[in-house]
Chains A and B, each alone.
Chain A
Amino acid sequence: MSAAIALPAVRSRRARLWRRYGLAGVGAGIVLAWVLVAAFAPWLAPWPPDFVDVTNRLRPPSAAHWLGTDALGRDCFSRLIFGARISLLAGISVVAIGAAFGTLVGMVAAYARGLADAALMRLTDLVLCFPPIILALAIAAALGIGTRNTIIAMLVVWWPKFARLARALALVQRSQEYVEAAVVLGLKPARILGRHIVPNAIGPLVVLVTLDVGNAIITFAGLSFLGLGVVPPTAEWGAMVAEGRELVEQWWVATFPGLAILTIVLGFNFLGDGVRDWLDPKARR
């Protein structure tokens, strides 16, 4: 009976794998590549990043200097490689610490309810009232220039969104039937929070963390571009773009750090999208 019906062929294995992991795989590859570059920077870089050679100023890309040299004759390629360290460090530490603190605040607020909830959430609102970049700028300027101070300034504006999300997620879980079941089974609050609420609420937080690293890298590069991020000789992508922004003829000075920012942010975004699809069973096919 079914012989008469021609059924379309099942999609090939490769097509299926691409559909399931495609961009996430590309993103993971880019991120991994940059992490390796940052880790092995001293071995990969052909020149020391701060080696000044004014006789070789603003040379275009060549065999000796793959990405050319900047206004002080430093090798752009080596500076790019060392810049990955700062960008990754800033991006990951801001998001990791901010997410951990924000999640703690949000979960405690959701579980405690009442006065503690109100107090913590108003504090969150207070921080969210200010435009984040402006507030971070102000704090960074007050604390003084430097990688650590800039990270601290970013942390101050970074945690509230995690607190908001964590609280909302925990509130949703609280009213789930399996949490009610855990109450009826006589489990203690710490166990209910740790074993039933947190594991089920963590998914969207993980997605936000992954997507947010790219965001944090851009913000840090932006602050550096404005002259607040790193102390001058340090190789940092945002600062490198700033150094090259007036040099129209010497396009390589600003272009390559810009491309580096672009690729690493894209990589984290692809990875974040992949993590979201992977954690959300509804998006799975």
Chain B
Amino acid sequence: MTASDRLEAQPQGVNRPPSIPPTLEVRDLRTVFLTDAGPVRAVDGVSFSVGAGETLGIVGESGSGKSVTALSLMRLLEEPARIVGGSMTFQGRDLLAMRPEELRALRGDRMAMVFQDPMTGLNPVIRILRQLTEPMVAHGRFTPPEAKQRAVGLLGRMGITAPEKTVSRFPHEFSGGMRQRVMLAMGFANDPALLIADEPTTALDVTIQAQILDLLRQLNAEFGTAIVLISHDLGVIGAVCRRVAVMYAGEVVEEAATAEVLADPRHPYAWALVNAVPRIDQPLGEDRRLVSIEGAPPDALALPAGCRFAPRCPFKIARCETEHPPLAEVAPGRLARCWVTQAGQVLPRAGGAGFGGTRAASTATEPLLAVRGLVKHFPLPRESLFGARRVVHAVNGIDLDVARGETLGIVGESGCGKSTLARLITRIHAPTAGSITFAGQEIATASPAAIRPLRRRMQMVFQDPYASLNPRMTIGDILAEPLVAHGVVGRGAAARERVRDLLSTVGLNPAWEARYPHEFSGGQRQRISIARALALEPEFIVADEPISALDVNIQAQILNLMLDLQQRMGLTYLFIAHDLAVVRHLCDRVAVLYLGQVMESAPAGALFARPLHPYTGVLISAVPVPGRTRVVLQGEPPSTLVLPTGCVFRARCPIARPVCATAPPLAEHAPGRWAACHFPGEFAHGEMGA
């Protein structure tokens, strides 16, 4: 029985016989935040129900009210938030009428929650075992010895190796993925009827995410636990949930089976969400632009009178501006809050020609950047006066070429050295060994002063739009600073003019130059960050996960902007990401990193169609795609403190053989296709693209 068969077998909310009451029934829930400026309607009339053993996903961008909905369900909200209307019934009991002690008895028992951040969700000074057994004993379901046995069993069930030993450890000894397993085990400790998971995989790598999602699906099938999964990623929801509710501005705007929403969304916002992300299971078109909707969610203090999505909607009609649409059935079992689709209109399929932004034909030229044998080791502080100094092997011999005008994608799990690589190429760090040749000049060993003139030609865009802009400088000053420092323009009018040009280049209002970074949203800040990188008119931009901190729609906007700029200015990109679908979509060539070494590098299309290295294969397979069985990579990347001998991937490789004890060289197996494997192409992954 495959995973998708199990999904088919689940009972459905709409088809449920009326005699069985649902596990959780929410009707017209309204939660407001009482702020100084007025009440903010975070959740505004949300209704849904989850039956025993069902799975419901809640998806939406940040600020759409999905997390507040989850907290409302658990009655975990504190002032200034307040539930002001609606009803919530859990197993026939009214949650809103419960006293605090009744709620306490319920939480962690019949109804459990798993939070987003596995790093802060566990108490750092209590051993794992006690954290797990505490709720079991406290709710009186198990005696301490039983609880201990069950805790060990659960951890084993969650895929933690040697659980009887690991339970006596402290949380800091666990990696993020292992902690999320512990959190899940805590969630399932008392065999709850309902598990609410708020972005449980957002902080994790794709391979770990795939393991956790598989686990959620199995636990749902095995124990019949109903699951409410909250995520910003429709792919994640599609991997676990049969039904999905799409939230926008505090309302459910569409509710239907996940597969149907993904294939044929009936609300324009859902349509935008579906089409803003490139899909790894769809053929790669010539067109590289993504669908993105402009604008921002409405001000929660001044919601529009009509449809809340109308100001941003590409399909709106006159009625949308004035009348608020109800959530009504648009097809059997499908609800949408849209006048257009309720009138029977079908939303167009995205993509197709007309947007421009086609792939650059690869031309063999002298590479703009050539990296050879690059090594970076970070020595750790001595643990004792006479102890040996331990070393983090971040980058261990990387060879790369980036040709002028192309986009090279770098992918890999966290800890594979991709961010270090970016900081070595931009010489924020000095490499331990190896050479970096940029535009014919050796920069690996050059002094900071010698590199300074070259900085005009090579720039960087950072991951975190909240940390990469100096909060104490205005946007105008931030953008003018490099211009003045390099003597491109003098202070005053010339600099101001250039700053205004830059702002309009990245699609921001030039009049905003006097504002401070905190006045901008994440997406706008990332545009400012890009404008700063463009200020010196570089040829080459290193982008270190520029979109991973952003909502999907903003991601699409930033990717489109980067494509436009590349076309207009002939830029060369080194694009670092962990989202494989995005890399496949944007990049001409891709290099896969593992433990600071290149496992495979090839043109994007070929690499994703037929990976040569087994690691590439499992990485691609880990991307959540609804209804696809996956090759889940077990375990986690080994420690970078001691490098394994032989092939670095050998310990986790599904096809490893004795010969892998000798390290395979990075060799060219087909024109332009390099792989470091003794058995290139032998790892079959038949489900790809199915």
Residues 30-77 of B contacting A (Cβ, < 8 Å)? 30, 32, 34, 36-39, 41, 45
Question: Which of A1-9, A105-113, A204-212, A263-271 lies at the interface?
Answer: A1-9
Size of B's binding interface in residues, CB under 8 A: 43
Cβ contacts A1-29/B at 8 Å (1 or 0 each): 11011111011000010000000000000
Contact A5 B485 (CB under 8 A): no
Q: Which residues of B contact A199 (CB under 8 A)?
A: 470, 472
Contact A177 B452 (CB under 8 A): no
Contact B485 A7 (CB under 8 A): no
**Which one of B324, B485, B529, B536 lies within 8 Å of A188 (CB-CB)?**
B485
Taken together as a complex, chains A and B put the C-alpha atoms of A285 and B451 apart, in Å, by: 45
- Closest chain-B Cβ to A90's Cβ sits at a distance in Å of 32
* Interface assignment of B455: CB less than 8 Å from any CB of chain A: yes
Contact B36 A187 (CB under 8 A): no
Q: Which residues of A contact B578 (CB under 8 A)?
A: none
- Closest chain-A Cβ to B649's Cβ sits at a distance in Å of 30
Contact B486 A186 (CB under 8 A): yes
Residues 170-213 of A contacting B (Cβ, < 8 Å)? 176-178, 180-188, 191, 195-196, 199-200
**Which one of B459, B464, B472 lies within 8 Å of A184 (CB-CB)?**
B459
Cβ contacts A149-175/B at 8 Å (1 or 0 each): 000000000000000000000000000
Contact B455 A11 (CB under 8 A): no
* Interface assignment of B569: CB less than 8 Å from any CB of chain A: no
Q: Which residues of A contact B529 (CB under 8 A)?
A: 181
* Interface assignment of B333: CB less than 8 Å from any CB of chain A: no
Interface of B is mostly: mixed
Q: Which residues of A contact B408 (CB under 8 A)?
A: none
Taken together as a complex, chains A and B put the C-alpha atoms of A8 and B84 apart, in Å, by: 10
Contact A177 B36 (CB under 8 A): no
Contact B482 A187 (CB under 8 A): yes
- Closest chain-A Cβ to B242's Cβ sits at a distance in Å of 30
Contact A7 B32 (CB under 8 A): yes
* Interface assignment of A131: CB less than 8 Å from any CB of chain B: no
Residues 63-113 of A contacting B (Cβ, < 8 Å)? none
* Interface assignment of A281: CB less than 8 Å from any CB of chain B: yes
Q: Which residues of B contact A1 (CB under 8 A)?
A: 45, 324
Contact B482 A183 (CB under 8 A): no
Q: Which residues of B contact A188 (CB under 8 A)?
A: 485
Contact A5 B428 (CB under 8 A): no
Taken together as a complex, chains A and B put the C-alpha atoms of A187 and B85 apart, in Å, by: 56
Given contacts A5-B85, A187-B482, is CB(A285)–CB(B459) below 8 Å?
no
* Interface assignment of B130: CB less than 8 Å from any CB of chain A: no
Contact B471 A191 (CB under 8 A): no
Q: Which residues of B contact A6 (CB under 8 A)?
A: 84
Contact A177 B459 (CB under 8 A): no
Contact A186 B482 (CB under 8 A): yes
**Which one of B37, B39, B481, B518 lies within 8 Å of A185 (CB-CB)?**
B481
Contact B532 A185 (CB under 8 A): yes
Given contacts A1-B45, A178-B469, is CB(A184)–CB(B463) below 8 Å?
no
Given contacts A185-B536, A186-B485, is CB(A285)–CB(B36) below 8 Å?
yes
**Which one of A176, A177, A180, A185 lies within 8 Å of B482 (CB-CB)?**
A185
Q: Which residues of A contact B428 (CB under 8 A)?
A: 180, 183-184
Cβ contacts B461-492/A at 8 Å (1 or 0 each): 01110011111110000000110011000000
* Interface assignment of B460: CB less than 8 Å from any CB of chain A: yes
Scoring B84, B468, B470, B482 by chain A CB atoms within 10 A of each residue's CB, the highest score goes to: B470
Cβ contacts B249-286/A at 8 Å (1 or 0 each): 00000000000000000000000000000000000000
**Which one of B85, B459, B470 lies within 8 Å of A178 (CB-CB)?**
B470
Contact B485 A187 (CB under 8 A): yes
Residues 212-255 of B contacting A (Cβ, < 8 Å)? none
Q: Which residues of A contact B463 (CB under 8 A)?
A: 177
* Interface assignment of B456: CB less than 8 Å from any CB of chain A: yes
Q: Which residues of A contact B32 (CB under 8 A)?
A: 7
- Closest chain-B Cβ to A280's Cβ sits at a distance in Å of 12
Scoring A176, A186, A199 by chain B CB atoms within 10 A of each residue's CB, the highest score goes to: A186
- Closest chain-A Cβ to B450's Cβ sits at a distance in Å of 11
Taken together as a complex, chains A and B put the C-alpha atoms of A8 and B32 apart, in Å, by: 10
* Interface assignment of B426: CB less than 8 Å from any CB of chain A: yes
Contact A177 B472 (CB under 8 A): no
- Closest chain-B Cβ to A41's Cβ sits at a distance in Å of 39
- Closest chain-B Cβ to A175's Cβ sits at a distance in Å of 10
Taken together as a complex, chains A and B put the C-alpha atoms of A178 and B466 apart, in Å, by: 9
* Interface assignment of B423: CB less than 8 Å from any CB of chain A: yes
Residues 563-614 of B contacting A (Cβ, < 8 Å)? none
Taken together as a complex, chains A and B put the C-alpha atoms of A16 and B458 apart, in Å, by: 49
**Which one of A8, A177, A183, A285 lies within 8 Å of B464 (CB-CB)?**
A177
Contact B38 A181 (CB under 8 A): no
Scoring B452, B472, B536 by chain A CB atoms within 10 A of each residue's CB, the highest score goes to: B472
Contact A10 B36 (CB under 8 A): yes
Query: Nearest chain-B residue to A10 (Cβ)?
Result: B38
Q: Which residues of B contact A8 (CB under 8 A)?
A: 34, 39, 82
Contact A178 B34 (CB under 8 A): no
Contact B36 A5 (CB under 8 A): no
- Closest chain-A Cβ to B530's Cβ sits at a distance in Å of 12
- Closest chain-A Cβ to B533's Cβ sits at a distance in Å of 8
Given contacts A184-B428, A200-B472, is CB(A177)–CB(B536) below 8 Å?
no
Query: Nearest chain-B residue to A7 (Cβ)?
Result: B39
Q: Which residues of B contact A180 (CB under 8 A)?
A: 423, 428, 460, 462, 468
Contact B467 A178 (CB under 8 A): yes
Q: Which residues of A contact B532 (CB under 8 A)?
A: 181, 185
Query: Nearest chain-A residue to B426 (Cβ)?
Result: A184
Given contacts A10-B36, A185-B481, A185-B532, is CB(A177)–CB(B467) below 8 Å?
yes
Query: Nearest chain-A residue to B80 (Cβ)?
Result: A285
- Closest chain-B Cβ to A235's Cβ sits at a distance in Å of 43
Residues 486-501 of B contacting A (Cβ, < 8 Å)? 486
Q: Which residues of A contact B82 (CB under 8 A)?
A: 8
Taken together as a complex, chains A and B put the C-alpha atoms of A281 and B519 apart, in Å, by: 13
Contact B455 A281 (CB under 8 A): no
Given contacts A188-B485, A285-B36, is CB(A196)–CB(B470) below 8 Å?
yes
Contact B460 A184 (CB under 8 A): yes
Contact A181 B468 (CB under 8 A): yes
- Closest chain-B Cβ to A150's Cβ sits at a distance in Å of 37
Contact A186 B455 (CB under 8 A): yes
Taken together as a complex, chains A and B put the C-alpha atoms of A77 and B451 apart, in Å, by: 68
Contact A177 B462 (CB under 8 A): yes
Query: Nearest chain-A residue to B460 (Cβ)?
Result: A184
Taken together as a complex, chains A and B put the C-alpha atoms of A184 and B30 apart, in Å, by: 48
Q: Which residues of B contact A186 (CB under 8 A)?
A: 451-453, 455-456, 482, 485-486, 536
Contact B468 A177 (CB under 8 A): yes
Residues 413-443 of B contacting A (Cβ, < 8 Å)? 423, 426, 428
- Closest chain-A Cβ to B302's Cβ sits at a distance in Å of 13
Query: Nearest chain-B residue to A191 (Cβ)?
Result: B485
Q: Which residues of A contact B426 (CB under 8 A)?
A: 184
Q: Which residues of A contact B45 (CB under 8 A)?
A: 1
Query: Nearest chain-A residue to B449 (Cβ)?
Result: A188
Q: Which residues of B contact A4 (CB under 8 A)?
A: 85
Q: Which residues of A contact B36 (CB under 8 A)?
A: 10-11, 16, 285
- Closest chain-A Cβ to B549's Cβ sits at a distance in Å of 11
- Closest chain-B Cβ to A72's Cβ sits at a distance in Å of 54
Contact B468 A281 (CB under 8 A): no
Taken together as a complex, chains A and B put the C-alpha atoms of A176 and B473 apart, in Å, by: 15
Taken together as a complex, chains A and B put the C-alpha atoms of A183 and B424 apart, in Å, by: 12
Query: Nearest 7 pairs between A and B by C-beta?
Result: A186-B455, A177-B468, A185-B482, A177-B467, A186-B452, A177-B462, A199-B472
Q: Which residues of A contact B (CB under 8 A)?
A: 1-2, 4-8, 10-11, 16, 176-178, 180-188, 191, 195-196, 199-200, 281, 285
Given A4-B85, A7-B84, A10-B34, 11 other A-B contacts at CB below 8 A? A8-B34, A8-B82, A10-B36, A11-B36, A184-B426, A184-B428, A184-B458, A186-B536, A187-B481, A200-B470, A200-B471
* 6 pairs, A vs B, C-beta closer than 8 Å: A1-B324, A180-B423, A181-B468, A186-B455, A187-B485, A196-B470
